[in-house]
């Protein structure tokens, strides 16, 4: 089983990236938060890996933090939550937000994730409420690209008001923040976010 990969980021695509490790390219599926935390190609990245083996495929799922990986493992124990839905949830909600949503029974927050309907949200709350206290929180993104209040929040509001979905806007702005620094002005973040979303 593969537990970690460190190598050159060859490409970042929708929901996945290609990591070159010693000349071998590994296709790794990731949440938008993890993709946003990766350096631009050809930067060097380290990802924690969850390997899933099925009859017809071996799939690798990558995470920027141990908290995100642990949440992926927990979410996929719930009936109806496969790897794709779990990654969608981790794109829409940070570990902190997941803890809050499940602990308070906020089903509306959970249904913001693609593939999570009202019935699945009820199942998530009922099955995970007792286990959520032991789960890691915080750090869905490394500190170097953690969303700042102020300009980041204003830029996020601007992009969502333009019709972009929140998870995609968060990912684009996190990448913009990593590129331009936490002191980046609002207009710089909005322009860089729009550029990232147009790719």
Q: CATH for 147-197? A: 1.10.8
| Domain 67-134 falls under CATH 1.10.150.20 | yes
| Domain boundary assignment for the chain | 4-63, 67-134, 147-197
**Secondary-structure class of domain 4-63 per CATH:** mainly beta
Q: Specify the pTM.
A: 0.68
Query: Predicted confidence band at 137 (pLDDT cuts at 50, 70, 90)?
Result: low
46-103 residue pLDDT tens: 999 999 998 999 999 999 999 999 999 999 999 999 999 999 999 999 888 888 888 8
Contact call for residues 169 and 162 (beta carbons, < 8 A): no
Burial class (CB in 10 A: 0-12, 13-18, 19+), 99: buried
């Amino acid at each position: 089983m593969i537990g970690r990969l460190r190598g050159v980021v060859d490409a970042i695509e929708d929901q996945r990236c290609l990591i070159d490790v010693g000349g071998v390219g590994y296709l790794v599926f990731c949440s938008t938060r993890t993709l946003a935390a990766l350096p631009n190609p050809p930067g060097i990245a380290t990802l924690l890996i969850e390997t899933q083996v099925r009859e017809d495929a071996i799939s690798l799922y990558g995470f920027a933090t141990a908290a995100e990986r642990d949440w992926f493992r927990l979410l996929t124990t719930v009936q109806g939550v496969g790897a794709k839905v779990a990654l969608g949830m981790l794109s829409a909600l940070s570990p902190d937000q997941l803890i809050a949503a499940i602990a308070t029974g906020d089903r509306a927050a959970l249904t913001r994730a693609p593939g999570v309907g009202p019935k699945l949200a009820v199942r998530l709350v009922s099955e995970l409420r007792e286990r959520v206290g032991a789960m890691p929180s915080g750090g869905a993104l490394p500190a170097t690209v953690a969303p700042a209040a102020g300009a980041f929040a204003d830029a996020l509001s601007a992009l969502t008001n333009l019709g972009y979905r929140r998870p995609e806007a968060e990912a684009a702005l996190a990448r913009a923040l990593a590129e331009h620094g936490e002191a980046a002005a609002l207009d710089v973040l909005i322009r860089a976010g729009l550029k990232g979303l147009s790719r």
